[in-house]
Structures are given as structure tokens and as C-alpha cells.
A = this chain, B = another copy of it.
């Protein structure tokens, strides 16, 4: 690839990923904003989809320190959305689960987000959106390797 083309693509990517993220998060917030923050929703989503989820795992996935997870889990446990249980074999470990209220709130929010994303996704032709998501998933892998490289060095 030509260098000038690469520079153009970089600029377009940085600009557009910023724009899309801002707009998307704002639209999600409009859907779910009264009961949950976007971050809280993502936390509930991750716990719900995970077999058994620990604060360390969340810190890893969300790319933040463990103390940030303690804080957000505290807030949601206070609201009765999340429960902590200790591992009986290794009593250092805490497992996070959704309470019934947490699950219900999550699912209601999730439905709204699905409707939102559906109304957007269906404006594209099937091959285009499939190709887009495929490349997006490749990009995630590339970023993961980048992270691993760093740790290796």
C-alpha cells in the first residue's frame, strides 16, 4: 500500500471510530439511561453471559484495575443487582452473579438495545454487514495479539 493511502485510511478510521462510538453510546444511553449507566449494563451483560465471573476477570476484560471493579460492583450490589459469593475451595476468590432483579433489569435493557441495533443493522445489505462484522472480529484478534506482544516484550 502507498504511504499516502495508509495515512488517509488511518485518519478516516480514527475519525469515524470516534464518531460512531460517541453516537452509539449516546443512543444506548437514551434507551437504558434511567436505571443503568452504559458501563453498568455492560457489566451485567458480561456476568450474565459468563459461566462464573470474578472481579479479576472483569478487570481484565474491561481493561481497568481491580479496584475500579470493586467500586462498580459495590454500587450495583447496593442496588440489589449483583451478589458476591466466596469460592469454598479458594477463599480468596469471589464469584459475581446477577440477582433476579439484576437479571430482569438487564434483560429489559438488552431488549431495548437489540431493537436499536436491529433498526440500524437492517439498513444494510446482508453481505455488507456480514463482511463488516467479520473484519471487526479480525480487528479484535489483531488488537489482542498486540496486547500479548507487549506483555511478551
Residue A91 is within 8 A (CB to CB) of chain B in the complex? no
Residue A118 is within 8 A (CB to CB) of chain B in the complex? yes
Number of chain A residues whose Cβ lies closer than 8 Å to a Cβ of chain B = 56
What are 19 A-B contacts with C-beta separation under 8 Å? A9-B121, A10-B114, A10-B117, A12-B137, A13-B117, A13-B136, A14-B45, A17-B24, A18-B42, A19-B143, A20-B140, A21-B21, A23-B147, A24-B143, A26-B147, A120-B142, A124-B135, A131-B132, A132-B136
Interface on A for B, CB 8 Å cutoff?
1, 5-7, 9-10, 12-14, 16-27, 30, 42, 45, 61-63, 113-114, 117-124, 126, 128-133, 135-140, 142-144, 146-147, 150
